[in-house]
Structure 1
Amino acid sequence: MRNFFTLLFFLCSALVLNAQPYNNPKGRLTGKVIDASTKQPVDYATVSIFKDGGASPINGVVTDPKGVFVITNLNPGEYSISIDFIGYQKKIVDHLTIGAATPNIELGTISIAPIQNQLKSVEIVSKAPVVENKIDKMVYNVTNDLTSQGGSAADVLQKVPQVTVDIDGNVQLQGNSNIRFLINGKPSSIFGASLADALQSIPASQIKNIEVITSPGAKYDANGTGGIINIVLKDSKIEGVNGNVNLSAGTRRENANLNLNVREGNFGVNAFFGGGEQINSTTLNTNNSLSYSQTRDTTTKLLQKGTNSFTRGGFQSGISFNWDITKKDALTASFGYNYFANHNHGLTNQESTEFDIPNNNTISDIFSLRNSESRFSGRYLDYSLNYKKTFAKEGQELDVLFNSSYGNNKSYSFQKQNYLNGGYPTSGTQSDNPGTDHETDISIDYTQPVTKTFTIETGAKAVLENINNSVVTDTLLNGAFVPNANQTYGFNYNRKVYSYYLSTTFSLFNNFINGKAGLRDEYTSTSDNFPGANIPGYNTLAPSAVLSHKIDESQSFKLSYSYRIQRPDYGDLNPFYNISDPHNISVGNPNLKPEIGHNYEFGYNKSFNQGANIYIGAFYRYNTNDIQTLTTHYDAKDINGTTYSDVYLTQRYNIGTETTDGVSLFASLPVTKALNLRTNIMFGDRITTNPGFSTVSGYVSRINLNATYDFGNNLIGEVFGNYNSSQRTIQGTRPAFAFYNLAVRKQLWNKKASIGLTATDPFTKYINQTTTTSGANFTQTSLRQVPFRSFGITLSYKFGKLEFKKEKDKDDNNNDAPAPENSSGK
């Protein structure tokens, strides 16, 4: 597979070289756009190029986050360019001559002046594409996602290319679930205890975009073999007071959130509050298990059938302060407080039948009723302080970040079994499991441009994490719960990661190849008080590289590699036995080692003049020390002094290797001015090799289709359908998942307000989820019927006004400085 990617890259490069030799005679225009007042780069400004004297542009680009633009493939002749962005006066630069003597023109820094008057209303005609493919990441812009309105982050992720979300909110990126989640580029303990609950607590209306980084560079932490998903929340840096309110109600979920932005001069405040609740729903469960004794002379059949009621809710809140101390020094402080909780209650009828195979008779047939309950709650406090300094040299930056996150989790579980025959006494347990999670990150990053085509980045980081947990278990004895000393304990887990990286950004062969390459060194030190566990420190060298070639302004290739690790998380390590179902018990493994991943990707992106866009990517992943879940059957299992019969014990282990290769496709097609189609397709093959098991090869696919239609009069409709195939594991299969959404949105009051209606699977009450698991002496088949159908209504309102005021420049001592001579403001 590696040879295939290498051959594919060089073949494509050879074709391009044949079509476009290095000595390209065509011309090139470059420049950088800055704000005339603040001297800060203006990103996403439109740069249009005209034949001198022409009325229609012949080409155009937008500036990148550093304000830089590049226009290539220009024939000899005279040109002019216009630079335009909302809230700024248009800038014209003319009489630009491309010829043999001047094939490349560098315009340097171009200042554009803010419009001085206050705008009563602003209508943005153009908008960012739903999906943007950048050199090191893919960005999904959420603003115009209708079917996710009123939903959560988990609903938005179902739309993101290369991402798969199952019915329970479990996320995979290119088929890998070991993903590093960030909020606004920073870690949070909100993801530590329950990822599904955390994603459900973030309203979709609060999200600006989602960044998917499948091959992170050296600047990013090496943790997460699947890659990184960064959830970027909405904020505003526009002058004035403005904000929005979103409310949604439905049969399955309710949400509300408020955003408030205030900015005056060089100081701004952003505040938000958002929360939601998944309304109580009841899932139907049927579990059939068949096991054999070690001697194969008896068999036990366990039938469990019942209902499970589930609800969850939570909120996010935060405030950030941004202070531009000088034009080169900025300070940002942020605080956040988050909460989420869930409640689960089940009632299960059970029949356990033991059969004597040689004598062909029934040994026992026991009926019982199990009553179970679980509760979880988590409170999380995040705060950070960020200082950023820019220098006189373009691109030279210093960034210092302190980020800390506190999590306080509490879980409770209860189960009681009443035997309806056989004379067995009622049994049961209840457990309290409080814990804390504290993580502090301190990092410093420095960027130094060496030449116009070569930049060095370097930095260091310390990650300090401390997890404390205690378990108090009571056992039912003679009709009363009494303390069980054998299942009551506490543990402490400390992990420190110290890292340093060196990275370069470069251009080769007159910008024929652009790339990033770097090396990150991480040392991990772990201490714990797990009985019998010994986790030695280890050092990780994680190289990464990405190369891209821009054929023209509309199409490009990229090839990337990254070395990743997956450190076991809290849930993987926790040695607490979850006995909410005495027949199906799970436990963590404190002796897990980190998983090692090698990620390769080759991608091609093409944009068309009519607005269509296509991205095709091939990926290859190879993991060693692969962390997998294994289920083992025991006729009887002693757990800290208590014996349980007919037990299926699930635990995670480092087992063998896993290889995943596949192809992902994203395409956007504006069929007409009103109708737009989008699709995300991913398919591949996963091969798992484990000592003691046969090699397992499992095909997996994910397909979705999105259609948006503009009916006019500010009325838009959308249809979204999604299908995730079933997936083979080393012991069985995971279920397929399919659903569809319908949505309409009407904008009102000069687009300040909107009302939307949504429906999910309106004609199907349940989604059936069938899972199979098998081992040397057992087979299990589980059917869950999950109520997924829902209807909802969403209301949103934007308030306040936008102001584009010319600020006085500040010198390095924050004193008023005279406006620059080339400023056209009055």
Structure 2
Amino acid sequence: MKKILLISIVITGLTFQLYAQPAPAPGAAGNPPATFPGVVKGKIVEAGTKTPMEYANVAIYSQQDSSIVGGIMTQADGSFQIKNVPPGNYYLQANFIGYEKHTLPGISINRSGSVADIGTLELKPASKELEGVDVVADKARVEFKLDRRVVNVSQEISAAGGSAVDALANTPSVDVDIEGNVSVRGSSDFTVLIDGKPSVLDGSDALKQIPASDIERIEVITNPSAKYDPEGVAGIINVVMKKHIKGSFSGVANLSASNTNKTRGDLTLNYRNDKWTFMLGGDFQNMVFSGERNVHQELYNADTTTVINSVGNMDRTWKGKGVRGGIDYHISDKTTLSMSGRVGDYTFQRNSLSTQHTYDNFGTDNYIFEDNTSARKGNYWNSDFTYSHNFNKDGHKLIATFYASGRQGPDNEYQIRYPSDANGNPIDQNPDKIRTVEASNDNEYRLKADYTLPVNDENKFEAGYQGRVNRESEDYLFENFDYTSDSWVNNPNFSSAFDFSRDIHALYAIWSHSTKSFSWQTGLRAEYTKREMDHTASSDPYIIDRVDWFPSVHLSQKFGRDIELQSSYSRRISRPRGWDLEPFPSYMDPYNIRVGNPALEPEYTDSYELSVLKRIKKSFISLEGYYRRTNNLITRIQELHSDGIIYHTRANMNSDQSLGSELMANLDLYPWLRIIASGTVFYYRLEGSVNGESVDRNSTNFNSRLTADVKFTPTTRFQLMSIYRGPSVSAQGEYNGMAFANASLKQELFNKKLSATLQVRDIFGTMKRSGTSYGDGFKTDFEFKREPRVFQLTLSYIINNYRSKSRNGGGQEGGGDDMGSEY
């Protein structure tokens, strides 16, 4: 951490010292007449659609010797300004990956420092005829921006027919386990945004519901600025959906199926004219993932050792369907009203059949056949209204958004326990039956306003407000089946009701300064939080009434055109969910009970990053270092009580820290071969105690990825991906390492209107999750394996030359349209 801070301070100090050097007086003896540098500015759009092109490269060259004088990438609205251009004659070149280079001669800057406004340049797609086949250059699969990395999902053919989770599986800094749970640099606490707006569902659940075929790109922001909601220790994952088009009417349809009961489909239609843009889409999925589980548990209570072995199968099902729509009305060239919404349903279900063998050192020996089903299901909706206005001055704008969402539905669980023989055959036709129903109703409302004012060519001021209102209610019903009355009977020991409210009001301010080679940004966000709870098990409301401060700093230093050094700092927060706070016990099985902790407080993380990026023609190599420390850590705790039951809860007991580095190479070795490789090494340390015993732990972890992308022909493409995930530790256990590989083959047909992608996942059957957890009086070894060698075919059909708007949004600090109202 000290090294990161030192480097940042040195860079800043050297830059300011450079600009502080006095200059000789113009016109003094021996000095030539004063000259002043000028500015070259303009705007880059896509030919035909007039869509602004963000991140297009613009460079100025001397007319005399073709030496480069300056360069820059365009902003979210396609605009650019190249400053400090000496007097002289120049020509300009603008280009973007997949588009033809545009050269504009005849640019002059006079001695008085004039401004050369070239107006609007149009870039055409870089296509050419090759033996009757249309060839278009590819974008990089992963791109690095000032504050984020961008995953271009269209380049990840292994994600075809899958969800956003599959698109993220081969992304640096992101891990996906066998159950589809996503973590960013080891933490599953992150915020999911969809087009810059919050998702109705949380974390991995939200990503599992989004078809990869509907996604334009995914932005992983590990160190957001003060402009963003600080919720989520690991940062933000923003999913940018396809929505804009080329021409008046177009669309795309996708359908996929596998050999193992997995189907998914979606349809997106668009219409646009000069004033209006309409979008309508729908999707469905029914994905079943089969697997095996093996758990060995030992309980130590006085002189009794109880062993529980559980072996069986487990199926996980992700189901859902939804309809979405959106309207943009362009009141004028500077003002737009937008409205969008989505309604749908979701189901996350787990079915398991297993045989449980329990014995101890005093002669107990019995077998139980278990048939368990748990399901989280419900309906959801969300809508947003956005007003955008651009003032006369470039970059001067106001964006205001109102967002509302809700979800309702039960979480159900059924457990049937048959006494059985050693082969799992039931010997009692009146098994123990338990069912639970947790009915929930969750609504959220947000209001956000963002104001941006360019003070001058080098400085920019941003400020805004965000209000959040959460209301959540839950009723938990626990029932046993009574054979005497042949009915379900409520068990009051485990039934409860819970109401939760949380209001958050935030203000932020950001100041940015940018020159030709150096830029910095500093911001501060203040948040006021009020939280209250009402639970049948407690009369204490456990109120939180506090103000938190969240500073952020970003620095960037360019060395020529090919090397860039970046560093940043931000403070993050992770607030406990209502589920974590419920003080009433929830039944898991005869040996496990979960209890929430209403006294839980938020955990806070200080995050530092330092990175260097080297561009080599179309390739690049990046090296990132990061340090993250979390205080007031919310820790999962397992306690064995005298009744022989393990109680699962959470508490603010510890702190942890991660120090790591990540090396990534994106290498275009040949026109037909691209290699993407990354490796992460990080040191993890956990500090604290559980039940009075120290849990100080540390580990050195290593993860790596390797992807080979091969073009056999302009319309045939093969991709092989391999991932290794090293061992890691937790407060009460360890996780073993694993490795797996996937392969994909994509064929485009009928002038690229139809594409077919064949995939095989987990080629060698090595993907699994295993490890050990332990504590005072217990030890558990576990292994979960997912079905290997899953074959899946995905068909995609383009309607009327569908093209998504691919460069808008995701700019520096969320300056683009897609992230203009980010939370």
Q: Tell me whether the two structures share a fold, i.e. TM-score over 0.5.
A: yes
Residue 355 of structure 2 is aligned with which of 349, 354, 362? Answer: 349
Task: State the match for 1:256 in structure 2.
Answer: 265
C-alpha offsets along residues 454-477 of structure 1, whole Å, 9 cap, x if unaligned? 111111111011111111211234
Task: State the match for 2:91 in structure 1.
Answer: 80
Give the letter aligned to residue 752 of structure 2. Answer: K
Distance 1:3 1:732 in 2: 31
> How far off its partner does 1:323 sit?
0.8
Task: State the match for 1:130 in structure 2.
Answer: 141
Is the counterpart of residue 441 in structure 1 residue 446 in structure 2?
yes
Task: State the match for 1:823 in structure 2.
Answer: none
Distance 1:128 1:239 in 2: 22
Is the counterpart of residue 306 in structure 1 residue 312 in structure 2?
yes
The verdict on how the C-alpha distance between 1:745 and 1:801 changes in structure 2, with shifts beyond 3 A counting, is closer
Q: Is the 8 A contact 2:357 2:367 kept in 1?
A: yes
Residue 595 of structure 1 is aligned with which of 600, 603, 606? Answer: 603
Residue 292 of structure 2 is aligned with which of 277, 281, 284? Answer: 284
Residue 33 of structure 1 is aligned with which of 34, 43, 60? Answer: 43
Is the counterpart of residue 742 in structure 1 residue 746 in structure 2?
no
Distance 1:412 1:629 in 2: 23
The residue matched to 1:656 in structure 2 has which SS? strand
Distance 2:495 2:188 in 1: 32
The residue matched to 1:151 in structure 2 has which SS? coil
> How far off its partner does 1:290 sit?
1.4
The residue matched to 2:641 in structure 1 has which SS? strand
Alignment of 1:671-686 (within 5 A): 671-686=669-684
Give the letter aligned to residue 128 of structure 1. Answer: K
Distance 1:167 1:792 in 2: 17
Give the letter aligned to residue 309 of structure 1. Answer: D
Q: Is the 8 A contact 1:440 1:464 kept in 2?
A: yes
Distance 1:624 1:73 in 2: 45
The verdict on how the C-alpha distance between 1:40 and 1:783 changes in structure 2, with shifts beyond 3 A counting, is closer
The residue matched to 2:331 in structure 1 has which SS? strand
Of 492-501 and 339-348, more deviation after overlay is shown by: 339-348
Task: State the match for 1:641 in structure 2.
Answer: none
Task: State the match for 2:667 in structure 1.
Answer: 669
Task: State the match for 1:709 in structure 2.
Answer: 710
Task: State the match for 1:809 in structure 2.
Answer: none
The residue matched to 1:176 in structure 2 has which SS? coil
Task: State the match for 1:389 in structure 2.
Answer: 389
Task: State the match for 2:557 in structure 1.
Answer: 549
Q: Is the 8 A contact 1:535 1:591 kept in 2?
A: no
Task: State the match for 1:223 in structure 2.
Answer: 231
Is the counterpart of residue 558 in structure 1 residue 566 in structure 2?
yes
Of 786-795 and 74-83, more deviation after overlay is shown by: 74-83
Of 309-318 and 19-28, more deviation after overlay is shown by: 19-28
Task: State the match for 1:485 in structure 2.
Answer: 492
Distance 2:470 2:198 in 1: 12
Q: Is the 8 A contact 2:97 2:137 kept in 1?
A: no
Is the counterpart of residue 326 in structure 1 residue 327 in structure 2?
no
Count of matched residue positions in the alignment of Structure 1 and Structure 2:
773
Distance 1:478 1:683 in 2: 57
Task: State the match for 2:513 in structure 1.
Answer: 506
> How far off its partner does 1:136 sit?
1.7
Distance 1:799 1:770 in 2: 46
Distance 1:325 1:86 in 2: 32
Distance 1:443 1:581 in 2: 44
The residue matched to 2:392 in structure 1 has which SS? coil
The verdict on how the C-alpha distance between 1:173 and 1:23 changes in structure 2, with shifts beyond 3 A counting, is farther
Task: State the match for 1:457 in structure 2.
Answer: 462
Give the letter aligned to residue 471 of structure 2. Answer: N
Give the letter aligned to residue 677 of structure 1. Answer: I
Distance 2:89 2:102 in 1: 18
Q: Is the 8 A contact 2:135 2:714 kept in 1?
A: no
Q: Is the 8 A contact 2:629 2:656 kept in 1?
A: yes
Q: Is the 8 A contact 2:69 2:85 kept in 1?
A: no
Task: State the match for 2:620 in structure 1.
Answer: 613
Task: State the match for 2:6 in structure 1.
Answer: 7
> How far off its partner does 1:698 sit?
2.0
Of 43-52 and 710-719, more deviation after overlay is shown by: 43-52
The verdict on how the C-alpha distance between 1:686 and 1:169 changes in structure 2, with shifts beyond 3 A counting, is same
Is the counterpart of residue 270 in structure 1 residue 279 in structure 2?
yes
C-alpha offsets along residues 235-286 of structure 1, whole Å, 9 cap, x if unaligned? 11544111111111112432211111110112101222222221352x2222
Q: Is the 8 A contact 1:73 1:552 kept in 2?
A: no
- Show structure 2 runs of 5+ residues with no match: 24-34, 422-426, 805-823
Distance 2:429 2:249 in 1: 69
Give the letter aligned to residue 683 of structure 1. Answer: V
Task: State the match for 1:110 in structure 2.
Answer: 119
Q: Is the 8 A contact 2:574 2:602 kept in 1?
A: yes
> How far off its partner does 1:336 sit?
0.5
Distance 1:39 1:353 in 2: 73
C-alpha offsets along residues 515-560 of structure 1, whole Å, 9 cap, x if unaligned? 2211111111112102245132111111111011111222211110
Give the letter aligned to residue 3 of structure 1. Answer: K
Instruction: Give % identity.
Output: 27
Q: Is the 8 A contact 1:72 1:553 kept in 2?
A: no
Task: State the match for 2:346 in structure 1.
Answer: 340
C-alpha offsets along residues 46-104 of structure 1, whole Å, 9 cap, x if unaligned? 545455389999997652213233568989863212557899999865333579x57x7
Is the counterpart of residue 52 in structure 1 residue 58 in structure 2?
no
Distance 1:256 1:666 in 2: 33
Task: State the match for 2:253 in structure 1.
Answer: 245
Residue 181 of structure 2 is aligned with which of 147, 151, 170? Answer: 170
Distance 2:313 2:174 in 1: 30
Distance 2:579 2:143 in 1: 34
Give the letter aligned to residue 723 of structure 1. Answer: Y
Query: TM-score with structure 2 length normalisation?
Result: 0.87
Give the letter aligned to residue 250 of structure 1. Answer: S
- Show structure 1 runs of 5+ residues with no match: 356-361, 637-645, 805-826
Q: Is the 8 A contact 1:762 1:791 kept in 2?
A: no
Distance 2:589 2:271 in 1: 52
Give the letter aligned to residue 515 of structure 1. Answer: W
The residue matched to 1:418 in structure 2 has which SS? strand
Q: Is the 8 A contact 1:240 1:803 kept in 2?
A: no
Distance 1:667 1:189 in 2: 35
Give the letter aligned to residue 796 of structure 2. Answer: S
The verdict on how the C-alpha distance between 1:566 and 1:26 changes in structure 2, with shifts beyond 3 A counting, is farther
Q: Is the 8 A contact 1:89 1:112 kept in 2?
A: no
The verdict on how the C-alpha distance between 1:122 and 1:137 changes in structure 2, with shifts beyond 3 A counting, is farther
Distance 1:235 1:797 in 2: 16
The residue matched to 1:143 in structure 2 has which SS? helix
Of 87-96 and 388-397, more deviation after overlay is shown by: 87-96
Q: Is the 8 A contact 1:82 1:92 kept in 2?
A: yes
> How far off its partner does 1:575 sit?
4.3
The verdict on how the C-alpha distance between 1:114 and 1:299 changes in structure 2, with shifts beyond 3 A counting, is closer
The residue matched to 2:6 in structure 1 has which SS? helix
Q: Is the 8 A contact 2:44 2:123 kept in 1?
A: no
Task: State the match for 1:368 in structure 2.
Answer: 368
The residue matched to 1:796 in structure 2 has which SS? strand
The verdict on how the C-alpha distance between 1:38 and 1:392 changes in structure 2, with shifts beyond 3 A counting, is farther
Alignment of 1:745-824 (within 5 A): 745-764=746-765, 767-801=767-801
RMSD value, Cα: 3.5
Q: Is the 8 A contact 1:240 1:802 kept in 2?
A: no
The residue matched to 2:136 in structure 1 has which SS? coil
Q: Is the 8 A contact 1:38 1:327 kept in 2?
A: no
Distance 1:242 1:423 in 2: 61
Distance 2:101 2:159 in 1: 36
Task: State the match for 2:415 in structure 1.
Answer: 415
Distance 2:158 2:298 in 1: 42
Q: Is the 8 A contact 2:764 2:788 kept in 1?
A: no
Q: Is the 8 A contact 2:525 2:550 kept in 1?
A: yes
Distance 2:334 2:344 in 1: 33
Of 418-427 and 731-740, more deviation after overlay is shown by: 418-427
The verdict on how the C-alpha distance between 1:185 and 1:6 changes in structure 2, with shifts beyond 3 A counting, is same
> How far off its partner does 1:803 sit?
11
